[in-house]
């Protein structure tokens, strides 16, 4: 073993072997939801009348009657204790991009000097965690600590280890939301009501619309030993320095490749535990970058899907350590290769089984029914585009962060300009409606067969659209894929903005259509028996207006091109690149009006959230700058100067040897010239690093003196971040000069390839 810390760490990391994972003897369908208090458990542990009430609450959104809370708590406690549970916690999602929990035991004094196990309805329904220590944007003062967590009965209770976890919202004493779940539930309610009202134009039997979400979670795995030897990974989640490996992803050999044995063991373990928690994981594969992977579930109701994603991210970290790995959820842990996102596949479905973003089936025998189905399809497509167009800056702000800013716009990540890809067929249809003067029956080709000239392969069914990897918001056949959210964040942020915007668009659409119906109904050409309905013509009339209005958001080309940046600006889309400035869209009057009209958030809550976003941005860059300065001065420069000293001794030794008559001075000069050049380059680069670290520290000090957090965040973006980039450039050059055996930090070629 080499007498070098980095080599020792690398060697130990490569000695890791796949942990033996024994799957349960049952099929996945038999242990699915083992640790979840789902309807099957409710039916067994709750009285029949209480069970019926709970089902009505979960399925139909009925208000929970607190009078049944004790009965529900008793059933939960019985089930939980049979599963070995001793504690319970309210599990909530503060504005930290993580989850929070405070554990309490099922114990109370029995009044006789002993203890009894107790869990009441009051403890189930409501608790009072400290609100002042979580990010709150000034809603709560430090001395005003009261906040409430309240049970969300639409998301089932689950067990982690010995603790019963109760999903809850988290609100301030004064009623404002301090979390992601509360505004998400409001947004889902708003879009359900608005979509149900619009569905009444097409179907009489729709009483509820559900928002569906299927997230795709990308992540990196790194050997735990290597991770621990990189202080930047340990403290920031990404490498703040590191020259790219000679081989990374340029051969495209990792994508969908054979999964390494150790990773396969981790995935198997993770999937078993996820399924036991009713997280319906389905897909796993190697991603494009080395050591990058993806996991995706079957789509679920949006609120539950968000809870499951937050739970899974926590579970991934725990399981990975059992297999000698660390999970990296940072959006860009390694420079020069793919970053990680969390693609949000979003759609709406009515309670009559209709997917509202899917085209209807063509029925030649009933063209009017076909037209109705396709008109419904076009309506929800166009109003989605209206929502995205009107609030493209807000949607961009909903996915933006200091970490995601490194990812967007390169290596297959979507650009930071929000646009929507529809595909040729749907684009042609909308253009046809826009340009047509007649309210024609709408006809979609639907999926068509594609013949393949290989006898063993059956004909493929081709979707209505291809895929555009550079589109942040692409239509993919029966849903939209919002590809811009980052891998480490709570995807509720994007879902709150998108669903609230969609609710507003549908409300506006219905208001205008109703006005147009009233107007058209007075015209003789739309009289009863004429074969033309005022409703049909009113819908098409409004759709034609909206198709023209939202046309700037439609883009099917290359989102990476500079030409698109210029074109997007001409179209009026947001092309801003500064993260702190992008956050300002939450406070646009159009955003405030939208959130308030849909009752998702009020102005005070929006102001508070922006305070949190700016503060989080500042702290993230501040920590990175401190870590980079420390590594530069305490790791990089000492190593570089030590190597420089070795080179100087080498040059001096060569001069001593070549000073004899056996060798010419010319030969001595030639042999030492390379080392002298390296000595000079190391001196120049270390001097620049020292100077730039001092400038970086000064820039932080100047920024920290700015009282307004918004302006401080902008100052950090404009002055601190560029200096960090300059320091990294010099360090990465030194990495290629300094003797490999002296470099203390694991390099990309070691971090990126699991053995």
Rg (CA), the chain: 30
Which of 26-35, 480-489, 661-670 has the weakest average pLDDT?
Answer: 661-670
* Residues ≥6 apart with Cβ < 8 Å to 743: 6, 639, 735
pLDDT tens for residues 529-585?
Answer: 555 588 888 999 999 999 999 999 999 988 888 899 999 999 999 999 999 999 999
Distances (CA, A) of 525 to 118, 345, 535, 675: 71, 43, 13, 92
**Across residues 616-630, what is the average pLDDT?**
98
pLDDT tens for residues 701-747?
Answer: 999 999 999 999 999 999 999 999 999 999 999 999 999 999 999 99
Which of 69-78, 134-143, 352-361, 727-736 has the weakest average pLDDT?
Answer: 134-143
Q: How confident is the model at residue 182 (pLDDT cuts 50, 70, 90)?
A: very high
- Spell out where 316-470 has E strands: 325-328, 342-350, 420-421, 448-450, 460-462
Q: What average pLDDT does the chain have? A: 89
pLDDT given at position 361: 75
pLDDT given at position 251: 80
* Residues ≥6 apart with Cβ < 8 Å to 347: 211, 212, 299, 355, 356, 357, 358, 478, 479, 480
Tell whether the model's pLDDT for residue 670 goes beyond 90: no
Instruction: Return d(Cα 593, Cα 708) in angstroms, integer.
Output: 25
Q: How confident is the model at residue 658 (pLDDT cuts 50, 70, 90)?
A: low
pLDDT tens for residues 399-450?
Answer: 999 999 999 876 567 888 999 999 888 898 899 888 876 555 455 454 444 3
Instruction: Return d(Cα 10, Cα 3) in angstroms, integer.
Output: 12
pLDDT tens for residues 273-289?
Answer: 999 999 999 999 999 99
pLDDT tens for residues 203-229?
Answer: 999 999 999 999 999 999 999 999 999
pLDDT given at position 468: 57
Q: Please, which residues bridge with residue 134 across strands? A: none
Q: How confident is the model at residue 460 (pLDDT cuts 50, 70, 90)?
A: very low
Instruction: Return d(Cα 199, Cα 356) in angstroms, integer.
Output: 9
pLDDT given at position 209: 97
Burial of 290 (0-12, 13-18, 19+ CB in 10 A): buried
pLDDT given at position 688: 97
Tell whether the model's pLDDT for residue 689 goes beyond 70: yes
pLDDT tens for residues 309-348?
Answer: 999 999 999 999 999 999 999 999 999 999 999 999 999 9
Tell whether the model's pLDDT for residue 169 goes beyond 90: yes
The rounded percent of the chain whose pLDDT value lies above 90 is 70
Which of 81-85, 372-376, 385-389 has the weakest average pLDDT?
Answer: 372-376
- Spell out where 224-336 has E strands: 281-286, 292-297, 300-301, 325-328
Q: Please, which residues bridge with residue 481 across strands? A: 345, 474
pLDDT given at position 459: 39
Q: Is the dihedral of CA 412, 413, 418, 423 positive or negative?
A: positive
The rounded percent of the chain whose pLDDT value lies above 70 is 88
**Across residues 34-42, what is the average pLDDT?**
97
Tell whether the model's pLDDT for residue 638 goes beyond 80: yes
494 versus 667: the higher-pLDDT residue is 494
pLDDT given at position 17: 55
**Across residues 76-100, what is the average pLDDT?**
96
φ, ψ for residue 158 (rounded to 5)? -145, 170
Number of neighbouring beta carbons within 10 Å of residue 513: 20
251 versus 632: the higher-pLDDT residue is 632
Instruction: Return d(Cα 658, Cα 635) in angstroms, integer.
Output: 35
pLDDT given at position 438: 57
Max CA separation in the chain (angstroms)? 117
């Amino acid at each position: 073993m080499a007498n070098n810390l980095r080599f020792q760490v690398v060697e130990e990391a490569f000695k890791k072997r796949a942990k033996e994972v024994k799957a349960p003897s049952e099929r996945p369908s038999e242990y699915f939801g083992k640790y979840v208090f789902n309807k099957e458990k409710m039916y067994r542990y709750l009285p029949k009348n209480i069970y019926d009430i709970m089902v009505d609450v979960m399925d139909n959104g009925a208000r929970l009657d607190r009078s049944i809370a004790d009965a529900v708590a008793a059933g939960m406690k019985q089930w939980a204790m049979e599963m070995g549970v001793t504690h319970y916690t309210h599990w909530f999602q503060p504005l930290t991009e993580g989850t929070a929990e405070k554990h309490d035991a099922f114990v109370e004094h029995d009044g006789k000097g002993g203890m009894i196990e107790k869990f009441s309805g009051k403890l189930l329904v409501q608790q009072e965690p400290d609100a002042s220590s979580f990010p709150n944007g000034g809603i709560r003062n430090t001395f005003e600590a009261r906040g409430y967590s309240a049970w969300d009965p639409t998301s089932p209770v689950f067990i982690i280890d010995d603790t019963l976890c109760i999903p809850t919202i988290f609100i301030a004493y004064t009623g404002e939301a301090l979390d992601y779940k509360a505004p998400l539930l409001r947004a889902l309610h708003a879009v359900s009501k608005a979509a149900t009202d619009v569905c009444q134009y097409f179907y009489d039997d729709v009483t509820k619309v559900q928002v569906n979400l299927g997230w795709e979670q990308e992540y990196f795995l790194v050997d735990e030993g290597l991770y621990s030897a990189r202080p930047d990974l340990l403290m920031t989640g990404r490498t703040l320095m590191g020259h790219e490996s000679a081989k990374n992803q340029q051969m495209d050999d990792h994508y969908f490749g054979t999964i390494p044995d150790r990773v396969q063991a981790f995935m198997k373990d993770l999937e078993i535990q996820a399924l036991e928690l009713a997280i319906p994981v389905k897909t796993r594969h190697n991603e494009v970058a080395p050591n990058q992977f993806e996991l995706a579930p079957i789509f679920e109701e949006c609120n539950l899907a968000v809870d499951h994603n937050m739970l899974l991210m926590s579970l991934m970290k725990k399981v990975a350590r059992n297999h000698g790995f660390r999970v990296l959820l940072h959006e860009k842990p390694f420079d020069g290769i793919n970053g990680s996102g969390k693609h949000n596949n979003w759609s709406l479905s009515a309670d009559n089984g209709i997917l509202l973003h899917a085209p209807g089936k063509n029925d030649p025998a009933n063209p009017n029914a076909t037209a109705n189905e396709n008109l419904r399809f076009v309506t929800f497509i166009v109003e989605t585009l209206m929502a995205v167009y009107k609030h493209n800056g807000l949607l961009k702000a909903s996915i933006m962060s200091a970490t995601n800013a490194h990812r967007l716009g390169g290596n297959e990540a979507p650009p930071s300009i929000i646009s929507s890809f529809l595909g040729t067929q749907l684009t042609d249809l909308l253009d046809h409606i826009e340009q047509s003067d007649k309210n024609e029956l709408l006809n979609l080709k639907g999926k068509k067969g594609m013949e393949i000239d290989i006898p063993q392969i059956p004909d493929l069914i081709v979707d209505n659209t291809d895929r555009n990897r550079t589109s942040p918001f692409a239509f993919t056949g029966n849903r939209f894929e919002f590809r811009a959210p980052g891998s480490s964040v709570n995807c509720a942020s994007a879902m709150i903005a998108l669903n609230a915007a969609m609710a507003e668009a549908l409300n506006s659409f219905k208001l205008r259509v109703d006005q147009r119906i009233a107007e058209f109904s007075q015209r003789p050409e739309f009289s009863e028996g004429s074969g033309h309905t005022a409703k049909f013509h009113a819908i098409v009339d409004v759709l034609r207006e909206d198709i023209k209005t939202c046309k700037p958001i439609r883009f099917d080309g290359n989102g990476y091109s500079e030409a698109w940046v210029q074109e997007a600006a001409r179209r009026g889309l947001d092309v801003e690149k500064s993260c702190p400035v992008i956050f300002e869209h939450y406070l646009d009057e159009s955003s405030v009006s939208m959130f308030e009209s849909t009752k998702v958030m009020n102005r005070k809550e929006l102001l508070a959230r922006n305070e949190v976003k700016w503060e989080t941005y500042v702290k993230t860059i501040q920590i990175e700058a401190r870590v980079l300065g420390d590594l530069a001065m305490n790791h990089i420069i000492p190593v570089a100067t030590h190597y420089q000293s070795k080179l100087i001794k080498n040059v001096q030794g060569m001069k001593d040897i070549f000073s004899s008559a056996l060798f010419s001075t010319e030969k001595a000069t030639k042999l030492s010239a390379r080392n002298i050049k390296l000595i000079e380059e190391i001196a120049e680069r270390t001097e620049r690093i020292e100077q730039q670290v001092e400038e970086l520290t000064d820039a932080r000090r100047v920024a920290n003196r700015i009282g307004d957090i918004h302006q401080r965040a902008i100052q950090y973006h404009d002055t601190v971040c560029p200096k960090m980039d300059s320091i990294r450039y010099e360090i990465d050059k030194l990495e290629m000069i300094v003797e490999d055996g002296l470099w203390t930090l694991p390099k990309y070629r070691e971090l990126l390839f699991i053995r």
